[in-house]
Amino acid sequence: MTRNVRIGLLGCGNVGGGLVTLLGERREQIRERHGIDLEISSVLVRNGEKKRRGVDPEIITTRAADVFASDPDIVVELIGGVEDAARFVGAAIDSRRSVVTANKALLAAQGSEVFARAKRHGVRVGFEASVCGGVPVIRTLRVGLAGDCVESLTGILNGTCNYILTLMEEGQSFEDALAKAQELGFAEAEPSLDVDGHDALQKLTILSAIAFGGVPAGEVQLSGIRGVTLRDVRRALREGRVIRHVASSRIDDGVLRLSVRLELLAAGDPLAAVRYENNALVVRARAAGELTFLGRGAGALPTASAVLADIIDIAQAA
Amino acid sequence: MTRNVRIGLLGCGNVGGGLVTLLGERREQIRERHGIDLEISSVLVRNGEKKRRGVDPEIITTRAADVFASDPDIVVELIGGVEDAARFVGAAIDSRRSVVTANKALLAAQGSEVFARAKRHGVRVGFEASVCGGVPVIRTLRVGLAGDCVESLTGILNGTCNYILTLMEEGQSFEDALAKAQELGFAEAEPSLDVDGHDALQKLTILSAIAFGGVPAGEVQLSGIRGVTLRDVRRALREGRVIRHVASSRIDDGVLRLSVRLELLAAGDPLAAVRYENNALVVRARAAGELTFLGRGAGALPTASAVLADIIDIAQAA
């Protein structure tokens, strides 16, 4: 018995395109394994003239209303940014549709409102793809550690910063390393979101809300990687250590403390081994002990893999 | 609104005792966060005379029938072994109760029958705790990568073997290292299940059934760690490498190939950094790329944490 599930796709850029490709490849297997036929009912794009591989031109539109009119069961928000995304996600929830999103900026800014609204309307919000791309850290915190007590989170959450620091260990300058990251497409053209730590802080905020939900927020410590010199990196290496841009959170005196900053790590530290654009998260939980997750934290296909897993999970529960 | 969920507990040894402790600590928070009040309705033990901390003596019994008569919503099987466990799990499913189990021997031997039976009766089987203790590898393969295509699994799945190899790197003999592992309680008194690779193969079989379900089984390669000498370990270290007991599976020529054997790993290999009784799994997936999971693969509390997460997940979906 196969059930048809319609997906309204908002955004068909890097990750949206990856999702179209992945769904094209896996649709048949998902039908066999999970009994769900996933069909894209409509795709919102900015430029309606551009051809999209694997997408029927008939279902492409530049008006969000068309996507909602296509009667989707699940709305997938991949346009990014806060304002438009918040409006579309709100409209989807109000029309009792579950949402899947990769939008860390939206969730860091308005996560609790979005989740409360979804709860009120009895729909779900899947957001695995918003942090650490294809590495399933959100599901682990939400479900895998539901009976445990998280004590701290420590991670490398921004691939661009880690890529730059790794290339500096290989002797390249900050500027050359940043240019390389931009060329490869994982640093933004305007890189301050990455290198000043805002992106890592958004992700840390999302993870901490799940792990420590309800604890009042304390002081936030935020610094980026612009100050690092080749001399610093070399001195660390000579001492058998590495410089990493580390995001961490823990409860201290009843208050949640978030910090994103440069740290000098010993070679044996699990985060010291994280190289190039990889991400990692170390979760310390009272019963489970220390759990480490490592993988590609960005990129079209890893992120699309997380989006598709959320879609299947929600479609199966419906 | 709080819903009462009754748990029938079969077995109150190491993991069962850990579950009782953890539930005692977390019950209030689970009620608040998840709206579920988890109550143990009956506990099956072998020795009814022994006092159990945190368990009302009134609900302890030596007869499985009493557990079923206590009208549990979920049956938690922690007695281990295959025969009795299979009978109890079958009875629970036939009476339309979902099951949570940590029993890798049962699932490696009869997993497909157990899952088919559960599907027929519309109940769920949670088995996160059966592999890698508190490290959520099963949920990741089942849900987190549901839209992806797993290409290979490679892991260190037996903590005892890894503990022995790590202690040998520190200069101890095989026999001394094994004695130490037994003293610490994670090696069996009869250690052949661990050191000959059977335990790792059972876990690999369970993981591979999820990742590659339906692919016909090919040749299985199984060897243990008894042959390793201090000289081998030292020679590897001199060459900047380490010896690890590695379980791996992949599809090759349309056939599923499982292997559990000693491998010589370069220092940069993610599995080379796994020390002492830790477990690790590297999953290679087509879209998500390479994901690595690391943590404590055994022990009462880590395993109980995984059992409790499954209980909450099933209770919430009900």
Q: What HEC string does B72-110 produce?
A: CCEEEECCCCCHHHHHHHHHHHHCCCEEEECCHHHHHHH
CATH class in words for B138-296: alpha beta
Looking at beta carbons, which residues of chain B come within 8 Å of A312?
143, 146-147
- Please indicate if any CB of chain A lies within 8 Å of the CB of B1: no
Nearest CA in chain B to A148: B305
User: Would you call B148 and A289 a contact, using CB atoms and an 8 Å cutoff?
Assistant: no
Helix axes A198-212, A104-121, angle to 10 degrees: 30
Q: How far apart are CA A131 and CA A133, in angstroms?
A: 6
Give residue limits of the domains in chain B.
Answer: 3-133+300-317, 138-296
User: Would you call A295 and B295 a contact, using CB atoms and an 8 Å cutoff?
Assistant: no
This model of the complex carries an ipTM of 0.95
Nearest CA in chain A to B211: A33
- Return the CATH superfamily for domain A3-133+301-317: NAD(P)-binding Rossmann-like Domain (3.40.50.720)
- Please indicate if any CB of chain B lies within 8 Å of the CB of A269: no
| CA distances in angstroms from B62 to A307, B11, B49, B84, listed in the order given | 48, 10, 10, 13
Q: How far apart are CA B111 and CA B88, in angstroms?
A: 14
- Please indicate if any CB of chain A lies within 8 Å of the CB of B145: yes
Identify any residues that bridge with A284 across adjacent strands, giving them in sequence order. A152, A290
Known catalytic membership, residue B51: no
Q: For the whole prediction, is pTM greater than 0.90?
A: yes
In DSSP notation, chain A reads --EEEEEEEE--SHHHHHHHHHHHHHHHHHHHHHSEEEEEEEEE-S-TTS--TTS-GGGEES-HHHHHHT--SEEEE-S-SSHHHHHHHHHHHHTT-EEEE--HHHHHHHHHHHHHHHHHHT--EE-GGGSSTTS-HHHIIIIITTTS-EEEEEEE--HHHHHHHHHHHTT--HHHHHHHHHHTT-S-SSTHHHHTSHHHHHHHHHHHHHHHTTPPEEEEEE--STT--HHHHHHHHHTTEEEEEEEEEEEETTEEEEEEEEEEEETTSTTTT--TTEEEEEEEETTTEEEEEEEE--SHHHHHHHHHHHHHHHHHH-
- Please indicate if any CB of chain B lies within 8 Å of the CB of A148: yes
Residue B256 CB-half CA count within 13 A: 19
Query: Domain B3-133+300-317: which topology?
Result: Rossmann fold (3.40.50)
- Please indicate if any CB of chain B lies within 8 Å of the CB of A270: yes
Nearest CA in chain A to B21: A287
Instruction: Name the residue facing B144 among A139, A147, A304 (closest C-beta).
Output: A139
Does domain A146-295 fall under CATH 2.10.109.10? My reply is: no
Per-residue model confidence as pLDDT tens for chain B (318 residues): 799 999 999 999 999 999 999 999 999 999 999 999 999 999 999 999 898 989 999 999 999 999 999 999 999 999 999 999 999 999 999 999 999 999 999 999 999 999 999 999 999 999 999 999 999 999 999 999 999 999 999 999 999 999 999 999 999 999 999 999 999 888 877 799 999 999 999 999 999 999 998 899 999 999 999 999 999 999 999 999 999 999 999 999 999 999 999 999 998 888 999 999 999 999 999 999 999 999 998 889 999 999 999 999 999 988
Interface of A with B in 13-42 (CB under 8 A): 18, 22-23, 25-26, 29-30, 33-34
